[in-house]
Structures are given as C-alpha cells and as structure tokens.
Amino acid sequence: MNRPETPSQAWQAILAGNNRFVAGDPAHPRQDADHRATMVGDQRPFAALFGCSDSRLSAEIIFDVGLGDLFVVRNAGQVIAETILGSLEYAVEVLQVPLILVLGHDQCGAIKATIDSTEGKLKAEGTFIHNLVSRITETVEQAQAHGISGIDEITLLHVQDTVNELIARSELIQNRIESGKLAVVGAKYELSLGAVTPVQMLGNLN
Ligand SMILES: [Zn+2]
C-alpha cells in the first residue's frame, strides 16, 4: 500500500481495513521483521487515532494495519486533555497525517462510570478517576436533561462533543481542516460486530 496522502484516501484505507477485520479476513499487513527494519529511521503514519483505552479496541487489529500506519493516542473514555491536544497537533504538524479519527464504542466503561457518578453510585477509591469522570459529566447531564439515558446514545454525544472540543481548542487543526489537508472523523465502534461507523465528518473527504 502506498501511504494515503489525502483525507479521503486515508479514510478509505481505514474503512477498507475495518471491513477486512469485520469480515474475518484480515491481511495483517506490514507486521513482519523486514518491514520493522525499514521503519527505524522514520515514521509516516497516514492517520491519527484518538480512542478509548478499552482492551477490546486494539487499534492496529480493528483497522487491519501494521507498524508505522497509525499514530495512536488513547485514554479511558477518549477525554480531551492538553497532552492529548499536543499529541494530535504533533501528528498533524510534524507527521503530516491527513486524518484524525476520534473513536468511541458501545458499552464504554468510562461513560458508565460517569452515569453512575451522576446518580451517586460510583464508588471509586482512586483520587484521579473523578478527574476523568468530571470531563464527561456535562455531556451526560445534558443528555439526561433531554431524556437520553442509555450508555450507547450518550457515547455518540460524547464522541461529537470530543470532536467539537478538539476543533474549538486547536487552531492548528481548524486551519488544516479549512485548507483541505486534514479531516476529522468521529466514529463509533461496535464491540460485537467490530464495525466502525462515522457519526461526524469534518473536512474534505471527497
Ligand atoms: Zn470505553
């Protein structure tokens, strides 16, 4: 595979890889020792992925890609933080990725923990778990105010809020989208099927 250079080419490569994974027919490309050796001096990933840390969301597996293909940033519940913004700006500015994929998923534990927290049911001993939950709380409360209470529906809203926050806070990313050099896609991953479906697409994907 030649490296996808445009947002559209990158998105098509992501979709094609995910389709192979869904069909149970992965190619496991660029995972061998020879390829590893060619990658030592440089990396030229074709997309950045910002997704949930969930152990069932393994980036290279679900998109059937290999070493050097994806620049991956993950935390529980894919919550924007300054270090996340810095990592994604690095991927865009220095590594010149044409696509950022923001990936949430059904049955997300971070969303569930936030719902439990708003209902007074979260019993977390760790001091910093609340930092994570507090960043999703606004989305959960707004959803609940509109009668939306399911984890998976709230996850979709959280993916959209995450994309919006990413763009609102990073002028670099805004400018790259406007210039046509970058697209940002918010998507959901379905654990049972392994399928990735876009929920929000920004930038020139034609
Ligand atoms: Zn999750």
Mean pLDDT of 26-50: 95
Q: Return all residues near 117 (Cβ < 8 A) that are at least 6 apart.
A: 130, 133, 137
What would the pLDDT profile of 53-68 be if each residue is shown by its tens digit?
999 999 999 999 999 9
Q: Return the CATH class of domain 7-202.
A: alpha beta
For strand 47-52 and strand 70-75, is the pairing parallel, antiparallel, or unpaired?
Answer: parallel
Q: What is the pLDDT of residue 1?
A: 78
Distance 72 CA to ligand 1 centre (A): 15
Distance (Å) from CA 204 to ligand 1 centroid: 28
> What pLDDT sits at residue 122?
87
Separation of CA 42 and ligand 1 centre (Å): 31
Q: How far is the CA of 53 from the centre of ligand 1 (A)?
A: 6
What is the reported pLDDT for 164?
Answer: 97
User: Mean pLDDT across the stretch 7-30?
Assistant: 97
- State the distance from the centre of ligand 1 to the C-alpha of 191, rounded, in angstroms: 10
Q: What local confidence, expressed as pLDDT, does residue 124 receive?
A: 84
**Residue 33 CA to ligand 1 centre (angstroms):** 32
- What is the distance between the alpha carbons of residues 96 and 172, in angstroms, rounded to a whole number? 12
* Mean pLDDT value across residues 6-34: 97
Q: Does 3 score more than 90 pLDDT?
A: yes
Domain locations in the chain? Answer: 7-202
Please name every residue paired with 196 in a beta bridge, in sequence order, or none if there are none.
189
Among the listed residues 173, 147, 163, the one whose alpha carbon sits nearest the alpha carbon of residue 199: 163
